[in-house]
Structure 1
């Protein structure tokens, strides 16, 4: 069994679409009106972005600890993405660092969703 897709409710579909395309290389494969954007990572995972139903948009709060995590192959990729986000003025509270089994940073975007970017099994080059 493998995870096929995830539906992530967001307040602004256009902003979320651009965010995932620009920073995480997701490709849009379909849209339904102004309610759903279907994206693919090129490796078989589908991310569905949707508008909350009814008046849920006003109360769209994910529980503490919920996050969207991305693995990259090298520590250099972690650093590169961190600097791209920083240059784009995405609020970043911490720099990448060795954490548990990898090299990681966390940040909030898209109205408070927590994101994680990690490289496993490699140590960063310390200068």
Structure 2
């Protein structure tokens, strides 16, 4: 069995599409206004971005610990992502990449606080 797609709910569609295109090299394949966007990566994984619905006027947030993770082949790729984030003004208080749990990992927050992880285990 292989996970082939995921729906991620976001507050700001254009910001999310730009992040996944510019930082993670996803390609936009379909968009329905501000309601839904479909993106694919080079491995064929499909990411569906949908507008996060409000409940009683409040915008829900993801729980603490929720994150989106990417594995890359080399430590240099992790460093490359960090450079992309710095160029895009997204490198935050989480700091730069560091050795963690047997890998070399970069954490950053974007899209209203969603935690992202980029890790290489080839250290």
Is the pair's TM-score, using the shorter chain for normalization, greater than 0.5? yes
Tell me, yes or no, if structure 1 residue 2 matches structure 2 residue 9.
no
Partner residue in 2 for 1:22: 22
Name the structure with the higher helix share.
1
Partner residue in 1 for 2:86: 86
Partner residue in 2 for 1:42: 42
Q: CA RMSD in A?
A: 1.6
Deviation per CA, 1:34-92: give whole Å up to 9, x if none: 20000001212110001023547832210111100011111011011101201221142
Equivalent-residue separation in structure 1 for 2:14 and 2:56 (angstroms): 18
Partner residue in 1 for 2:51: 51
Structure 1 length-normalised TM: 0.88
For this pair of structures, how many residues does the alignment match? 122
Structure 2 length-normalised TM: 0.91
Equivalent-residue separation in structure 1 for 2:79 and 2:2 (angstroms): 29
Equivalent-residue separation in structure 1 for 2:81 and 2:21 (angstroms): 13
Deviation per CA, 1:65-120: give whole Å up to 9, x if none: 11000111110110111012012211422211111121001111010000001011
Partner residue in 2 for 1:95: 96
Structure 1 residues 32 and 66 mapped into 2: Cα distance closer, same or farther (>3 Å)? same
Partner residue in 2 for 1:32: 32
Partner residue in 2 for 1:13: 13
Q: Unpaired runs of 5+ in structure 1?
A: none
8 Å Cα contact 2:52/2:59 also seen in 1: no
8 Å Cα contact 1:11/1:57 also seen in 2: no
